[in-house]
């Protein structure tokens, strides 16, 4: 499903971050550029494109929740 695929993208990010963390703990070189590229790719490709697909749904749910208060 689309939701499962989206969750897998989040799992992939976590895996990449954990890999960077392991490299740092093992005193392997992790360049600031590599970290910046990961964050930039996540922000530009995932948040601004993938997550924004869900914005109307989240806004609608939020509006309904606020109405019931």
- 6-50 per-position pLDDT tens digit: 899 999 999 999 999 999 999 999 999 999 999 999 999 888 888
Contacts of 54 (CB under 8 A, 6+ apart): 6
- Per-residue pLDDT, 69: 66
Q: Would you say residue 3 has pLDDT above 90? A: no
Helices 2-25, 32-41: crossing angle, 10 deg rounding: 170
Neighbour count for residue 42 (Cβ, 10 Å): 19
Pull the structure tokens for residue 18.
């954990």
State the Cα–Cα distance between residues 32 and 42, nearest whole angstrom: 15
DSSP, residue by residue, 17-31? HHHHHHHHHTT----
């Amino acid at each position: 499903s689309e939701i499962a695929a989206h969750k897998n993208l989040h799992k992939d990010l976590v895996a990449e971050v954990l890999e960077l963390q392991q490299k740092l703990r093992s005193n392997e070189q992790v360049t600031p550029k590599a970290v910046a590229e990961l964050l930039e790719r996540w922000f530009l490709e995932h948040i601004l494109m993938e997550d924004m697909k869900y914005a109307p749904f989240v806004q609608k749910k939020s509006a309904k929740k606020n109405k019931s208060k």
